């Protein structure tokens, strides 16, 4: 749930238009510009909305951007939850999570550029939106399941396993952009996931399938 700084204005037709224009502007501006080079007035002018209205509801540029990031990350979490329904096999669960992230970031590349390349990490880490508790708890539960079943390496802190997976995704996206986005990122899921899987699974589990 968003805190009071992140509350969106009520969604009647006019205000939904305000929200949509503001979101589209944030995607356009911050996926292409340095975070510190853009101010609220620039965003208001480009979106065609009132500076005073933005300031009233968000207070500053950081809270404005983080509020939308929180919403967009929430949509990814919702997709992951939906796709995991009924899945029992641990490896396939993790493969699906890996694919969903790559596919979402490829399809919403402007958003991914913002969270991976534009936002000042130190500033974002101080905001509640950075923690993404729903997604974090979901992924940690899946990883803990694997450790409890002696499939994933239990000698490694579960948080480090999560960092390893998410770090792989982030680096893959950044280099995909750097290399010109020529091939589908999501279509490389299987080969990349197998590399990740071998890094987190127990040696015994690897021997069992070799």
Q: How does residue 2 score in pLDDT terms, banded at 50, 70 and 90?
A: very low
Q: What is the pLDDT of residue 114?
A: 96
Q: What is the pLDDT of residue 46?
A: 92
Mean of pLDDT values over 80-91: 95
Mean of pLDDT values over 166-193: 96
11: pLDDT strictly greater than 80: no
Q: What residues does each domain of the chain span?
A: 4-209
34: pLDDT strictly greater than 50: yes
Q: How does residue 87 score in pLDDT terms, banded at 50, 70 and 90?
A: very high
Distance CA 114, CA 94 (A): 25
27: pLDDT strictly greater than 70: yes
Q: How does residue 94 score in pLDDT terms, banded at 50, 70 and 90?
A: very high
Q: What is the pLDDT of residue 10?
A: 44
210: pLDDT strictly greater than 60: no
Q: What is the pLDDT of residue 14?
A: 54
203: pLDDT strictly greater than 90: no
> Between residues 2 and 41, which one has the greater pLDDT?
41
Q: Which CATH class is domain 4-209?
A: mainly alpha
Give percent above pLDDT 70 in the chain: 90
pTM for the complete prediction?
A: 0.87
Q: What is the pLDDT of residue 206?
A: 67
């Amino acid at each position: 749930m968003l805190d009071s700084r992140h509350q969106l204005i009520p969604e009647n037709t006019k205000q939904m238009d305000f929200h949509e224009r503001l979101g589209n502007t944030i995607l356009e501006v911050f996926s292409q510009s340095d975070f510190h080079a853009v101010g609220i007035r620039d965003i208001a002018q480009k979106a065609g909305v009132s500076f005073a209205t933005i300031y009233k509801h968000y207070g500053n540029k950081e809270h404005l951007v983080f509020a939308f990031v929180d919403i967009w990350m929430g949509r990814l979490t919702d997709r992951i939850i939906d796709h995991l329904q009924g899945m029992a096999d641990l490896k396939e669960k993790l493969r699906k999570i890996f694919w969903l992230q790559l596919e979402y970031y490829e399809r919403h590349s402007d958003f991914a550029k913002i969270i991976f390349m534009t936002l000042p990490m130190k500033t974002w880490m101080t905001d509640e939106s950075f923690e993404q508790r729903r997604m974090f708890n979901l992924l940690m539960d899946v990883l803990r399941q694997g450790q409890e079943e002696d499939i994933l390496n239990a000698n490694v802190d579960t948080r480090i396993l999560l960092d390893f997976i998410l770090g792989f995704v982030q680096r893959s996206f950044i280099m995909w952009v750097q290399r010109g986005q020529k091939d589908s990122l999501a279509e490389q899921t299987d080969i990349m996931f197998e590399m990740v899987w071998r890094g987190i699974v127990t040696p015994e589990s690897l021997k069992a399938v070799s």
